[in-house]
Structure formats: C-alpha cells, structure tokens
C-alpha cells in the first residue's frame, strides 16, 4: 500500500505568480499537484490549502491554526509536507517544533527561491526532498531545502538569493540527498519524550532586541510599559551586556525584578552564548537573565513566545529554559 502524504500549502515563492506589484502567491495546491506527482510516483499525494500569502504575512495566530490542522490531519497520513515562503519559514518551523512536540509522523516544511512555474527553479528539488522525508517514517518537525534536511528548530535562512538559502545552526543535518539517495542520520533525530498533544498556546507580548554600542537602557522600561512580558536580548560576543555609562545590565535587573523575562543570547550565529566567561556576562546572569546558549534567534523567539503561553510562573519559565524540549538547544553539562 502506498504511503499517504499530505501537502499543505501556505503560499510563498514556490506558488508565486507575477502580479501588478511583483511576485505574489497565486497558485493553489491543486495547480501544483501534477508536477509534484512527478517526484513522488511511489506515494499517494493529497493537497490542502491553508492560506496563500507571502510568508512576511504569516503571524503567530497562523502558527497555532496550522499546528492544530497538522495535529488533526496526522491521524490520517504517514507524513505531512508544508509549503511555505522562505522569509519566515524558520520561525514557523521553530514554533511548530514546540507546538507539535512528540508528534508521531514527520512534518517537513519546505519552500523555494523560485516559483515552481519557473523551469530552472529549485522548487521541484526541494519538494522532492520534503515529500520523501515526510514519507521516511522519522517523527518530528524538519526543514527540507537544497537537498538537505534539518531539525525545524535549528534551521535559519542565511542567504537571500542562493538556492542554499538555509543552514542548520549548531546542529548536524538530519539527512542529505546524494547519488545514493536520501540518507537519514537517525542518530541526530530527537527522541520522542512523551505523549503527543498539540500545545498551541503562546504569548505575542515579546520583543527581539539586538544590542549596539550605546543602546539606551530605557528601552526596557518602555517595553514593559507597553505590556511586553519577555525580551530576547542579542548581546555582544558570548552574550555580554554593558554596565558602564549606559548601564544596560542595571536596566535588565530592574526589569526582571518587575516580572519581565529576559532571555540572553549572542549576536553571533554560530557556537552560541556563554555568560559565565566575562564580567559583562556574569553580571547579566546575576541580574536574573536566562541563557539562550546555542539556539537560533528564530528558535529563541519561538520558545520565548511558547513558554510564556504555557505558564505565568517565573519558576516554571526558568525550568523550561533549563531544558532542551525539541532539540533546539544544547545545555552545557555543569
């Protein structure tokens, strides 16, 4: 019996057509089905349109609805592939990793840098990889792009125009396509850690702040006045923050004491933060920040939003950030 694979279309470049104001999503999933069947003749494909938008117009409420749809459809299919625009794909894949943790089938998010209607596009190759990973029997949330498969919460868009637009950050590939076919590195998969139930609650009262020399510490007061519950601060180098002149660490301490969650990471894409090395990091730890370690910015923001949707308890929030939930972080051994 052929495996049943569902393709959920959200739009993006892969399904784009030329409009009056430039490229815009326009194809429905049924328009792509005949071409997709060319790369998956041993599978039974079905399609469903979730939405048809540029991924810049995908919002947190869409993540929750998409996760609920995937959870519902997971009972009837052996795998699900999600067609998505590349610009916010890593955010969606990261949030789905938390909302759908312990799902029993593969969920693979993919897209392309050129429309499937373009004869030289990467769309078909990415769909081939995504569909066959979805049929591979490895539970979890993944990203398929340029013949590589990555954990959903480790993928990040690193190039704007090249076909190798995505990279797995601080984590090995889950799979690669070569002349030997699709090879899956099962030792890199994340083990199922409990029963599956969609957990789609989140808080959008968050902010991403990238420090620069001279950042005004009062930005944290302003954010708190506006109802922000959590801030992910990208610090310098290993995650350090200034405490002379513009005393940003002093402002962090005040914000934490007033109930704000401050997650601290590095502006550097690779190797992650370690706040225990320099004084600028140790003072930040003493002020009450949580560490992002080697999480991508997309995963850090998604986890912050998701955790704040699960609990208001500062103790529980701290516990959530002390553990790896979906393969998103490497917690150093003490």
The catalytic position among 13, 88, 110, 200 is 13
Interatomic CA distance for residues 327 and 190, integer angstroms: 6
Q: Answer yes or no: 13 catalytic.
A: yes
Q: Which residue has the tokens 């894949």?
A: 93
Q: Are 59 and 95 in contact (CB under 8 A)?
A: no
Rounded to 5, what percent of the chain is helix, strand, coil? 30, 25, 45
Q: What secondary structure letter does DSSP report for 114?
A: S
Neighbours of 322 (CB within 10 A): 11
- Beta partners for residue 167, in sequence order: 156
User: What is the gyration radius of the CA atoms in the chain, in angstroms?
Assistant: 20
Which uninterrupted H or E stretch holds 91? helix 89-99
Nearest to residue 13, comparing CAs of 72, 83, 71, 70? Answer: 83
Q: Helix, strand or coil for residue 319? A: helix
Measure CA of the first residue to CA of the last residue in the chain; give whole Å. Answer: 49
Residues in the chain: 334
- Residues with Cβ within 8 Å of 119's Cβ and at least 6 positions away in sequence, in order, are none
Nearest to residue 219, comparing CAs of 78, 197, 90, 210? Answer: 210
What are the catalytic residues? 13
């Amino acid at each position: 019996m052929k495996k049943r694979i569902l393709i959920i279309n959200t739009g993006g470049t892969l399904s784009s057509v030329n409009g009056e104001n430039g490229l815009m999503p326009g194809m429905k999933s049924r328009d792509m089905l005949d071409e997709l069947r060319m790369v998956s003749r041993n599978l039974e494909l079905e399609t469903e349109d979730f939405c048809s938008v540029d991924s810049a117009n995908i919002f947190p409420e869409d993540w929750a609805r998409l996760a609920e749809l995937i959870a519902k459809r997971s009972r009837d299919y052996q795998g699900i592939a999600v067609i998505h625009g590349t610009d916010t794909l890593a955010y969606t894949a990261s949030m789905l990793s938390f909302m759908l943790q312990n799902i029993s089938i593969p969920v693979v998010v993919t897209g392309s840098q050129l429309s499937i209607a373009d004869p030289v596009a990467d769309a078909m190759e990415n769909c081939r990889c995504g569909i066959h990973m979805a049929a591979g029997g490895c539970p979890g949330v993944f990203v398929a792009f340029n013949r590589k498969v990555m954990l959903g919460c480790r993928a990040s868009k690193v190039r704007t125009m090249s076909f190798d637009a995505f990279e797995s950050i601080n984590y090995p590939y889950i799979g690669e396509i070569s002349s030997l076919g699709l090879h899956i590195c099962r030792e890199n998969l994340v083990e199922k850690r409990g029963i599956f139930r969609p957990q789609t609650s989140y808080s959008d009262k968050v902010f991403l702040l990238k420090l620069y020399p001279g950042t005004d510490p009062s930005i944290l007061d302003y954010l708190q006045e506006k109802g922000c519950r959590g801030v992910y601060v990208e610090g310098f180098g290993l995650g350090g923050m200034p405490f002379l002149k513009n005393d940003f660490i002093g402002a962090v301490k005040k914000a934490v004491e007033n109930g704000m969650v401050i997650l601290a990471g590095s502006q550097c894409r690779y190797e992650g933060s370690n706040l225990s090395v320099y004084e600028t990091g140790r003072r930040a730890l003493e002020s009450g920040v949580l560490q992002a370690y080697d999480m991508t910015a997309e995963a850090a923001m998604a986890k912050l939003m998701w955790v704040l949707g699960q609990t208001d308890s500062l103790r529980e929030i701290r516990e959530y950030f002390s553990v790896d939930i979906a393969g998103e972080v490497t917690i150093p051994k003490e």
